[in-house]
Structure formats: structure tokens, C-alpha cells
Structure 1
Amino acid sequence: METTAKTSITVDATVNAPVEKVWAYWNEPAHITKWCAASDDWHAPYADNDVRVGGTFKTTMAAKDGSFSFDFGGEYTNVEDKKLIAYKMSDGRGVTIKFEANGNQTKVTETFDAENTHSIEQQRAGWQAILDNFRKYTESN
């Protein structure tokens, strides 16, 4: 039997907005399509989200020039309103997102199981870029 140790990667950002707004912008498809991209040449033309244990989500991430797209999705395994979301991606890797309210600021911390295709640094940079886009979008809208 083969066992492989999983590597977890954590990214975080403090959003200058109350947790109610952060939670809504994180979870509502109309908002997800506005912020879920790692760079300006990508976008999320479609999002569907059922935030409850056993619920599923799917976000289509696509190059703006139409050259490539993929669906990012999974199933929720734990949801604590305005505090925590955990899910399994369609490839079986786990993700946990914590929302820590502090008045008009909310710290968002994502921890995810690394995949084996890209380097740890590339994965961290990509997820951090998406989280930074979320922070910028939420603070400016």
C-alpha cells in the first residue's frame, strides 16, 4: 500500500469589510464571477454555488482570449455561517477557509492540499493572487 504525505499551503488576506459583506461576496455567484481570477487575462464567466454541507459549487475559469478554460468545483463538507467553509475539490483534495471577524475587517485564511503538477510556490502564488483579487473587489464595491 502506497502512502503519500499531503502538503498543505496557506494563503491569507485581511479585507477591509465586515464579515457579513465578505461572506456574501465570497459565496454569491454574481460576485464570484467578478473576482475569481489569478490575473487580468483570466476571468470567471460562470459560477454556481450551494453553500451547505453536501452542497456543490462550480466556477468556470477561462482565459479571456478563449484559448483555455476549466471548471473548478467540489462538494462542501463543513459550513459554519460567516466563520468556516471546508470542501473537497473534484480531485479529492481538501480546502478550509476561515473567516475571522474583527469589526470592519475580516481576515480570510485558506488552507489547501497541494497538487503534484505545479510547484508549491506556483500554487501559493496563484491562490494568493485570487485571494488578493477578492480583497480588492470586496473593498471597492
Structure 2
Amino acid sequence: METLNNSSITVQAQVNAPIEKVWETWNSPQDITQWCYASEDWHAPYAENDLREGGKFRTTMAAKDGSFSFDFGGEYTSVQENKLIEYVMEDGRKVRIEFTDQAGTTQVVETFDPETTNTVEMQKAGWQAILDSFKKYTEAK
């Protein structure tokens, strides 16, 4: 289904953890493989992350039953430790993630350009589900 809305999409979560822990969990490949999926029947069997301007990342997301997988990757355009990550996905879409310290908790706001295959609602729900998975994993870690 072609989406006609080209404005950016935003998802967010309030993570009950200090910003340093949130930053580390967001960026550590070992942690990424524990949270980067939208539902329990998916997982992330592989992640690599070169967190620096010009650095690249790649995460493999796969159905646990082996029926489907894909790589999600891009290149960082801006990295400000414990504050901001910006990157360009391999298809040219841009993503901005802001981390805000709020007295022991951390606000994570992720804004991204939509793609044209799925509806805006579907994309927002999928990215929010992954962010919710991150929140759950980080708070339990």
C-alpha cells in the first residue's frame, strides 16, 4: 500500500533507568540482540555497531521460526554521547533519536522518515513496539 503522508513519524518512551545505562543498552551489540524486535516471535540474532559519525551499523531481524529475516542498517551522521544519534538508513531515509535525562529516568524520542510500502500507522506501531521492547529490556537489565 502506498502511503501519501511524507511527514516524519515520532515514537517515544520514558525509560526508568539513568541515561548512561539507556545509552549503553541502546548501542551495545550484545544488548541490541536482546531487544531489537517488535514481537516475541521475532529476534535479532546479529548486531554490529560502529557508533561514530561516519560509522555504520547493521542488525539482522528474523522470525524465530526461520520464515523471514532482513537486515536493518545505516550510517551515522551525528553522535552526541548520552544526547543524540542521527543516521541515514540504506534507503536514504533519516532518523533522529534524542535522549533526555529526567532525574534518574530517560526520555527517548525517535523521529524517522516513513517509507512508501506500509501505512504510516503500521510503521509507527512497528517502531513503537521495538522501542517498547527496548524499554522493557533496559528496565529489567
TM-score (norm 2): 0.96
- What SS does the corresponding residue of 1:106 show, helix, strand or coil? strand
- What SS does the corresponding residue of 1:110 show, helix, strand or coil? strand
1:65 aligns with 2:58: no
Equivalent position amino acid for 1:139 in 2:
E
Equivalent position amino acid for 1:7 in 2:
S
Which position in structure 1 is the counterpart of 2:12? 12
Q: 1:5–1:42: structure 2 CA closer, same or farther, 3 Å change rule?
A: closer
Segments of 4+ moved more than 6 angstroms: none
C-alpha separation in 1, matches of 2:103 and 2:70? 37
Which position in structure 1 is the counterpart of 2:82? 82
Which position in structure 2 is the counterpart of 1:124? 124
- What SS does the corresponding residue of 1:32 show, helix, strand or coil? helix
C-alpha separation in 2, matches of 1:122 and 1:42? 17
Q: Provide the identity percentage.
A: 64
Which position in structure 1 is the counterpart of 2:51? 51
Q: Is the 8 A contact 2:5 2:120 kept in 1?
A: no
The Cα shift of 1:14 comes to: 0.3
C-alpha separation in 2, matches of 1:7 and 1:61? 26
Structure 1 stretches lacking a partner, 5+ long: none
Equivalent position amino acid for 2:40 in 1:
D
Which position in structure 2 is the counterpart of 1:108? 108
Which position in structure 2 is the counterpart of 1:29? 29
The Cα shift of 1:6 comes to: 3.2
The total of aligned residue pairs comes to 138
Equivalent position amino acid for 1:106 in 2:
T
Structure 2 stretches lacking a partner, 5+ long: none
The Cα shift of 1:99 comes to: 0.0
- What SS does the corresponding residue of 2:122 show, helix, strand or coil? helix
TM-score (norm 1): 0.96
Compute the RMSD of aligned alpha carbons: 1.1
- What SS does the corresponding residue of 1:91 show, helix, strand or coil? coil
The Cα shift of 1:5 comes to: 7.6
C-alpha separation in 2, matches of 1:5 and 1:104? 36
